[in-house]
Structure 1
């Protein structure tokens, strides 16, 4: 199994045949968020989203308990901004997603990523992000994250697939689009890196390629 695939479908099994709206127990999200909040990871976070396809379009959402209902913030890329709240866990809250269609082939993706991205970094900044991502992954060992017992290969700088980006590493420029990977070894030898466009996401490089 490719390690990178384990980020997807951790909380909702893909292909659940369930009519809209879809309801998910808050506790599953809470347990993941707790691992971030109980550790010292000021540079990284966990993001939950519904991968967007023609069959998987989120129209809106809410968080409900037996007595209360709260709005759920969802952005254009269908990221779910789920709060870390002890009271919601104690009150057995439910995450409700209003889907276009029945959501039968949709899932929840979980991704570790940098909290913020910018256009220029020095080596120490990239190393800190990489180290905190590794530490968080190690704290999540055990099912279904048991495949992450080893360190990651480095980090990904993610851009739009059709977007041409100029990347400058230690004064050397080259063009790229999509995902730019920087290995742990390359990070250790790096002085600085900059981009003509701010990366959309910075995430762990966990694949074998």
Structure 2
């Protein structure tokens, strides 16, 4: 397992669960690893943010199908066209030593599963109060994932990143309005905490697909 921090959306504060099976098209991971992370989130109330798992959309990592299996049962694995996978929070699955199986088209050794903190529901416009509440919730969740005493060595997030769905964005640009001042942004827009503290309202011509933490060194 390795930790990696990037400056734009998809892999923010992401824990990569590397797949070591060099040639197999089916990857099986212990459910316990997912459960332990979800448990940290479920121990507290986070009304604005959630923990999301996904498989990067690369030629070697296109999901064909998936399942969650125990010795006696098999359940379908739900995932989206963006390859976000939905893992249930179920103590029985942990007790039964369940496996999360992902069947990919390509070279499974080049695949990974990313864990990301993101907003539960992206909005097309935000007030400053809403943005600050979102960053506060993200910081609290990240502190819980770090655990004691590592949370005291983690820098607070530096703002938010807004990502837009390329398939909805034919012109590859999105109109941004901050306090009646218009500009154009591309697929990813980083909004620093400094800018958040200076604005009153922000809106986009297209609702963001993902809102996640902005982290800089």
TM-score by length of 1: 0.90
Is structure 2 residue 216 aligned with structure 1 residue 207? yes
Change (3 A) 1:3 1:54: closer
Aligned residue in 2 for 1:177: 186
CA drift of 1:148 comes to 6.6
The one-character-per-residue Cα deviations of 1:155-182 (angstroms, maximum 9, x if unpaired) are 1011246621011111111111121111
Q: Distance in 1 between matches of 2:127 and 2:101?
A: 41
User: Aligned partners of 2:74, 2:38: CA distance in 1, in Å?
Assistant: 20
Shift of 1:49: 0.6
Task: Provide the rounded CA distance (Å) in 2 between the counterparts of 1:31 and 1:101.
Answer: 29
Residues 84 and 197 of structure 1, relative CA distance in 2, 3 Å threshold: same
Within-5 A mapping of 1:89-168: 89-141=94-146, 149-160=154-165, 163-168=172-177
CA contact (8 A) 1:51 1:78 kept: yes
The answer to whether the Cα contact below 8 Å between 1:61 and 1:72 also exists between their aligned partners in 2 is yes
Q: Contact (CA 8 Å) 2:19, 2:108: kept in 1 or not?
A: no
Are positions 1:27 and 2:32 aligned together?
A: yes
Contact 2:12 2:213 in 1 (8 A): no
Tell me: CA distance 1:148–1:23, structure 2 relative to 1, closer, same or farther (3 Å): farther
CA RMSD of aligned residues (A): 2.2
Q: How many residues align?
A: 206
State how far apart, in whole Å, the 2-side matches of 1:84 and 1:40 are. Answer: 15
C-alpha separation in 2, matches of 1:123 and 1:14: 41
Specify every segment of 5 or more residues in structure 2 that has no aligned partner in the other structure, as ranges.
Answer: none
Indicate the SS of the match to 1:168: strand
What TM-score comes out, normalization by structure 2 length? 0.87
Q: What's the offset of the Cα at 1:2?
A: 6.4
Q: Unpaired segments of 5 or more residues in structure 1?
A: none
Alignment-derived partner of residue 189 in structure 1: 198
Please tell me whether the aligned partners of residues 20 and 103 of structure 1 are also in contact (alpha carbons under 8 angstroms).
Answer: yes
- Work out whether 1:82 is the aligned partner of 2:91: no
Q: 1:171 to 1:137 in 2, by over 3 A?
A: same
